[in-house]
Structure 1
């Protein structure tokens, strides 16, 4: 047994090989010594194991508790998340119904005004047509009576119907109702105060639904989001800069934004 390399060797290796200069011992003696030493090492490992067993059990308990808490948290996220999403979807549906009702009501009133304003032109065309193209005297007198009555009624009620100066849908009101109770500041990077939602993507989606009103500018959308973030407690000088404020168009000439942005924001105020 080579004591230097701790491996069994033959006699030739000791006499002529690499182990010639190494100390050696009988295999039986080395075996007995190593066996006693190995038994002592086993006891040391056993003591170490026994000393860590309690900590190991505590660690395994923590692992089980971690898995349980993760599963419970996931179930909570799913349940509460579905509930919140369901609530938002119901609110969206309610706002859409309100919007449809408001649009129908305002449209009906405006169409009534349009018909009343159209009445003089239609009557004029009918009277002119009768005067120039009546078949005979009998037909003229017959139609004359009806048109004369309509003319007198129209002239007597010479007051034009009231035409509202502004009757568009207030986008801001619906936007504020949509985010009511939602902490919109939770969706902001604290370092940059930038909304987490992709503003270009939101702008594109918004513009897609506003094709009849023209293109909305990036500034209009950002101003609306800014208003929602700041709340209704904005300072007077800040309020004048927000879209939808009556003084916005008059103060925009001194703003630091470009003239193109100012004109576009001013043109969209009525819908925001």
Structure 2
């Protein structure tokens, strides 16, 4: 799904740029080994698939006739190539990106987007600089997931947002010896200022967690929505979303809007309550 549609400029944002389906994963772990990769805590664990489950996701997606798994860069370079584009992204930078996920993608002939929380590079359960370079050399896209994974990134000041993007981009660019231009936003927060800050930091492709297929551009930066894959997401559901099932897309959009409204109403009180329940070492998605 990479069709051109008309563009309309609204408050400096070009909407209706392209259609693209993107699936957002996090870690893939052995059963009972949720803390072996990525952030700790019950909430982070909800986004960690078992290796067997993830393999079934990939197998179901590979059986879709019209779907072609590509990176966002490949899709933009070859927009007329047959098949609807689906991009696969992996947030946080857990060690499973290197130890499990990349191998399974390559077995299908696919490449992924690995978005790294740069303050965690080399930490226990996270990829090292050498592993990041290896993933890049194998053809995967390396991008930033911010420096520190702020819980409410959209509420940070402009200066904080620019700092998170610029420092994380520079860190990864230094690791790879080339400019990093891809990013994903931590958590489920998104607003125009976050995109403007990303563009200011030189980011050209920005993945959000908003379930939508119509992309937009903010100051030249392509904004791509994503559908979150959780431990409870069945392989059939993942494949149906990848295939563009309209009923599932609508259900995801409604759930997103309800959650966003609830978070806006609860604000910091909900965050404090969640910390008491799941612990301070968890990360909100």
TM-score computed with the length of structure 1 as normaliser:
0.23
Higher radius of gyration, 1 or 2: 1
Higher strand share: 2
TM-score computed with the length of structure 2 as normaliser:
0.22
> Whose relative contact order is higher, 1 or 2, with alpha carbons under 8 Å and at least 6 apart?
2
Higher helix share: 1
